[in-house]
Structure 1
């Protein structure tokens, strides 16, 4: 006779509040100036540290998902317009220094 253990599934609310312990390191990298301004403003809009915002974007990208909903995408479009960022995905990996 075999016994099976049922797995408890977490509710979406419980999963959203789960935390993960990580080790963070200080890093420095160069980025297009207006892009950084947009990211900083977006982090402030969401009340996040810039590093937390970037981590979220990367984790979503690694799974082929968008990190932003419709409202955030509208805000990003506004911020890009405010800071004069006209670059889109087509410019990825094709930027050169002025």
Structure 2
């Protein structure tokens, strides 16, 4: 099914190491960061896994490289230091 899409530029705030992992993953999958995020969101909306076992292994490697040890549970506990 070919559907016309209308994309918009957005300025989101995201944790630095998480962004590095996402950018690295997008690069390894030869896609844009925006395409990766869209795919993750659409899969999660349908409660479907977004990644193959091979991709999950790549994510583990990238998380080690960028020292990202958070899990899904941590997302509800983020606190930001405000200056």
What TM-score range do you get, normalising by the shorter chain? over 0.9
TM-score by length of 1: 0.79
Structure 1 residue 66, shift from structure 2 partner: 1.1
TM-superposed CA distance for 1:19, in Å, is 3.0
> Secondary structure of the residue that 2:19 maps to in structure 1?
helix
2:27 to 32, 38, 44: 44
Size of the aligned set, in residue pairs, is 81
Superposed counterparts of 1:60-71, under 5 Å? 60-71=43-54
Q: Unpaired segments of 5 or more residues in structure 2?
A: none
Corresponding residue number in structure 2 for 1:83: 66
Q: TM-score, normalised by structure 2?
A: 0.93
CA RMSD of aligned residues (A): 0.9
Q: Which runs of 5+ in 1 are unaligned?
A: 1-17
Asked which structure has the greater RCO (Cα within 8 Å, sep 6+), the reply is 2
The CA distance in 1 between the partners of 2:26 and 2:61, in whole Å, is: 14
Rg bigger for which structure?
A: 1
1:55 aligns with 2:38: yes
